[in-house]
Chains A and B, each alone.
Chain A
């Protein structure tokens, strides 16, 4: 029985570890500035936890087999433990866990506490059951106010967001269903929701933030690789949660300017 347990526990350990180490399934390639650090921190945590995982599981299986009761087994040792070992173990784990944690806090801080760069591209992200809308402030750099009373989700676009069209800032506000971002520019994103909580999750950009009705949450990030990336809603928001999908197109500055100018022209 001890051998069977050892076999199963070791097998589970090797198979589980294999798929992690082989990276059969892994984080999608990162396409934003933060990805470098996040992926490094992930890999570091993975290696450290992986060592503990393998060591603990292998010992568990080994002890089960090694100390099984059989005719010639040594008598059990009468021991209530070892105070010094307990202290060593406690201190080591505390240093490891807390150290890991402190290392991880830098990127978190920079995305949230530092103000965005002065030339950051402003985009407003709005979640609603079950679509994402993106608003660009246009040449004036100002978003027009919105009003709940004007919101008409079934109409889509500007009407869905309830933009106060009489406001002068509204003239050049662009609303789209696909997010366009210039590469290597800082993006100053403000996130809102009109109904329930959604979560704006772009795995490739290592970006996730809940959008909460009543809050306007500011974050900033910098996409670094041109490409098309999928948005998946990550907070249960109702029947169509699984369909609340969108795209981010990270393009060159030139293409971005062209795209924005075309939208402005369409609007006028």
Chain B
């Protein structure tokens, strides 16, 4: 059998094998990264249109024209789906995980390079399919990213619920298959391909986060895939898994006996772990960067590992907190509520340890560090609205309001995006061999952090005042109409913040070609990717197999010749 080492004895030569259908995890990682970059701009553009439509419904936009209420709902559905699947799941795990997990554990490649290539191209197909939904008759579906049946299961329930909805659910099913392949690969690679001396408790926290994320993915995406297939059958084959006897548009439909709540259970059984799939890699990279740039070991390495493991475990037991108002047995609300509160504990531990890492450090403020600090700030802000929503009695008032929109955007949306930005600024030199521009990086950071809060913090106020989500207009309900000025403020903040992302794009592409050349270890970091050449050779370590002698975050080691000890340094380099 061809092991990764033999596959990589010689780098492929042709353009297609080298850059398109590559088996190299680094190329595949970059493919995922650029796919996510494309997707995030599509998703962000959709949100911009939504924000404009909400407060200036009559606006006629260049190219787009006037946005109708049904278009608004399509934008909302596609924004959520594209962001959750093709950005928050794709970039941190498929992108950076693919590129750096093998290098950080000292492996020449993923355990299954062909499977790795397949999982990327399957994800790509899923992306093409979901984008196609915009262009079919009736347009994209309007049922929201959560796709609750019967709305999502019945073709006559609204515009976009025809072929558009079929493409939507097909895309998600394809994405699930791709993610399952990826998850298997990540788990096997972490367990089997670690270099000599890379014990589990010497793995960088990034590797732990990708490993745990992969386990969550393996358990969660299978359920969503099944749920999606059942939905496709309800839509096209006349089955009744989710649809009871109902009347839509005066027509009695042929379904009987299905349960709309079944979908919600299956969807959220995936959906809640998905939150952690999006955020865990961000936690990993934040830990890595806070330690590196504070020049100090991570505070409580083991506690960080156990916290991530328990977040992963509890993550599968809390899905019902999305369903307090759904008509699910009110008794189960107690269990889901207590377990949800429990998951706040490891999250709090992580925050405590991040602050502990900075405490008595010697902090360098390059852009990756700014984003890591931003991540902690957003994680705190987004996390602390959780204990409101986790209490069923408070959820009565807050469920499906902008309070929830603000909550999840801060924690799984923007915090995760900050993790992606931190990772980009941190690993860009290794990936592209050049440094990004620090001045542009800082400007981008400050506008984005301030803008993010200006957009999402007021949403909490709106939610408390009872502003319901997924309304294309607020004029129909008198108490909501009074909140329009605050919505307008949010739209202005969104326009500024979204525009500022151009700074990032310019910095990214300009630096890729014109940035100053990067050294092998520009941040004076300790993990294995910084021991190899920049960019890394085809087999990652140029024919050498690294041997690991130290834990991942040995900074400021007393008696060491410099202020950091790399994982591969000889044992004598430190007393530890």
A78 contacts across to B, CB distance below 8 A: 296-297, 555-558
- Residues of chain B within 8 A of A82, CB atoms compared: 299-300, 356
Q: 9 other contacts beyond A57-B377, A67-B294, with CB at 8 A cut-off?
A: A69-B364, A79-B299, A86-B303, A97-B387, A108-B392, A129-B248, A148-B246, A195-B248, A210-B325
B488 within 8 A of partner (CB): no
Is the CB–CB distance between B143 and A199 below 8 Å? no
B73 and A81: CB pair below 8 A?
no
Task: Out of A16, A94, A151, A238, name the residue touching B151 (CB < 8 Å).
Answer: A238
Task: Evaluate contact between A8 and B450: CB separation under 8 angstroms.
Answer: yes
Interface positions, chain A 80-133, Cβ under 8 Å from B, are 80-83, 85-86, 89-90, 93-94, 97-98, 100-102, 104-105, 107-109, 112-113, 128-129
Q: Which residues of A contact B149 (CB under 8 A)?
A: 196
Chain A 166-209 interface residues, beta-carbon cutoff 8 Å to B: 194-197, 199, 201, 203, 206-209
With an 8 A cutoff between CB atoms, is A2 at the interface? yes
Are A203's CB and B247's CB within 8 A? no
Q: Which residues of A contact B301 (CB under 8 A)?
A: 80-81
- Whether A60 contacts B362 by the Cβ 8 Å rule is no
- How many Å from the CB of B419 to the closest CB on chain A? 16
Contact indicator A148/B377 (Cβ below 8 Å): no
Contact A101 B337 (CB under 8 A): yes
- Which A residue sits closest to B357, measured CB to CB? A81
A75 neighbours in B (Cβ, 8 Å): 362, 556, 563
Interface stretch (choices B38-46, B167-175, B254-262, B509-517)? B254-262
Judge whether A238 and B342 touch: CB under 8 Å: no
Quote the shortest CB–CB distance from B550 to chain A (angstroms): 12
Q: How many residues of B contact A (CB 8 A)?
A: 116
8 A Cβ contacts from B161-198 to A: none
Taking CB atoms, residues of chain A closer than 8 Å to B486 are 25
Q: A76 vs B557: C-alpha distance in the bound complex, in angstroms?
A: 9
Which residue in chain B gives the minimum CB-CB distance to A70?
B362
Question: Roughly how many angstroms separate A109 CA and B300 CA in the complex, as a whole number?
Answer: 40
Contact B468–A81 (Cβ < 8 Å)? no
4 shortest A-B CB distances, which residue pairs? A214-B244, A81-B300, A203-B466, A25-B461
A sample of 11 inter-chain contacts (CB < 8 A) reads A20-B460, A38-B396, A79-B296, A80-B298, A81-B298, A83-B300, A93-B349, A101-B391, A149-B252, A153-B250, A217-B327
B375: shortest Cβ distance to chain A, in Å?
A: 11
In the bound complex, residues from chain B placing their C-beta under 8 Å from that of A107 are 393
Given contacts A26-B465, A45-B388, A199-B325, contact A213 B260 (CB under 8 A): yes
Q: Is A259 an interface residue, CB under 8 A from the partner?
A: no
A148 to B334, CA, bound (A): 35
Given the complex, which residues of A lie within 8 Å of B10, measured CB to CB? none
- Of the residues B150, B258, B392, B476, contact of A104 by C-beta under 8 Å: B392
Which residue among A12, A56, A57 has the maximum number of chain B CB atoms within 10 Å of its CB? A56
A38 touches B387 (CB 8 A): no
B351 touches A242 (CB 8 A): no
Q: Does B341 contact A (CB under 8 A)?
A: yes
**B353 interface neighbour in A64, A81, A203, A242, Cβ under 8 Å:** A81
Verify B333–A108 contact, CB threshold 8 A: yes
Distance A67 CA – B359 CA, assembled complex (angstroms): 7
The answer, yes or no, to whether B470 is at the interface (CB within 8 Å) is: yes
- In the assembled complex, the Cα of A13 lies from the Cα of B464 at a distance in Å of 19
In the bound complex, CA of A15 to CA of B381 (Å): 13
User: Residues of A with Cβ closer than 8 Å to B?
Assistant: 1-2, 4-5, 8-9, 12, 15-16, 19-20, 24-28, 34, 37-38, 41-42, 45-46, 49, 52-53, 56-57, 59-60, 63-64, 67-69, 73-83, 85-86, 89-90, 93-94, 97-98, 100-102, 104-105, 107-109, 112-113, 128-129, 148-149, 151-154, 162, 194-197, 199, 201, 203, 206-215, 217, 230, 232-243, 245
B247 and A233 contact, CB distance less than 8 A: no
Is the CB–CB distance between B390 and A80 below 8 Å? no
Question: B51 on the interface (CB 8 Å rule)?
Answer: no
Report how far A53 CA is from B348 CA in the complex, Å.
11
Complex Cα gap A105–B337 (Å): 9
- Whether B394 and A194, one on each chain, are in contact in the complex, defined by CB atoms closer than 8 angstroms, is no
Neighbour of A12 across the interface among B70, B450, B470, CB < 8 A: B450
A38 CA to B388 CA, complexed, in Å: 11
Stretch at the interface among B85-93, B124-132, B477-485: B477-485
Contact (A105, B359) CB under 8 Å given A53-B381, A79-B297: no
- Inter-chain contacts of A233 with B (CB < 8 A): 468
Q: Is the CB of A97 within 8 A of B344?
A: yes
Closest residue to B365 on the A side, CB-wise? A1
Least CB distance from A150 to B in Å reads 10
Closest to B554 in A: A78
Q: A8 to chain B: which residues have CB within 8 Å?
A: 446, 449-450
A242 & B250 in contact (Cβ 8 Å cutoff): no
**Given A60-B355, A108-B330, A233-B468, A238 and B397 contact (CB-CB distance below 8 Å):** no
Among B377-419, those with CB < 8 Å from A are 377, 380-381, 384-385, 387-388, 390-394, 396-397, 399-401
Q: Does B492 contact A (CB under 8 A)?
A: no
A112-B330 in contact (CB<8A): yes
Is B3's CB within 8 Å of the partner chain A? no
Neighbour of B299 across the interface among A80, A211, A239, CB < 8 A: A80
Q: Is the CB of B442 within 8 A of A49?
A: no
CB of B34 closer than 8 Å to a CB of A: no
With contacts A16-B457, A151-B250, A196-B157 taken as known, whether A98 is within 8 angstroms of B338 at the C-beta atoms is yes
Contact with A239, one of B73, B355, B555 (Cβ below 8 angstroms): B73
Cβ distance A231 to chain B, nearest Cβ, rounded Å:
9
- Asked if A104 meets B391 with Cβ closer than 8 Å, knowing A60-B377, A86-B303, the reply is yes
The reply on B59 being an interface residue by CB < 8 A is: no
Q: How far is the CA of A4 from the CA of B157 in the complex (A)?
A: 52
Distance to closest chain A CB from B310 (angstroms): 10
A239 and B301 CA atoms in complex are apart in Å by: 50
Within 8 Å CB of A73, what residues of B? Answer: 362
Complex Cα–Cα for A85 and B464 (A): 35
Q: Check A12 against B453 for contact (C-beta < 8 Å).
A: yes
In the complex, whether B84 has a CB less than 8 A from a CB of chain A is: no
CB-based contact B400/A199 at 8 Å: yes
User: Is A197 touching B260 in the complex (CB atoms < 8 A)?
Assistant: yes
A136 CA to B442 CA, complexed, in Å: 63
- Known contacts: A5-B365, A239-B158. The answer to whether A196 contacts B388 by CB under 8 A is no
Q: How far is the CA of A148 from the CA of B246 in the complex (A)?
A: 7
Q: Smallest distance from the beta carbon of B452 to chain A beta carbons, Å?
A: 9
Within B439-465, which residues are at the interface with A (CB < 8 Å)?
A: 442, 446, 449-450, 453, 457-458, 460-462, 464-465
Q: Are A239 and B397 in contact (CB under 8 A)?
A: no
CB contacts (< 8 Å) of A42 on chain B: these are 388, 394, 397
Docked CA distance A52–B258 (Å): 45
Bound complex: CA A235 to CA B377 (Å): 31
- A105 — nearest CB in chain B belongs to which residue? B334
- Residue B142 is within 8 A (CB to CB) of chain A in the complex: yes
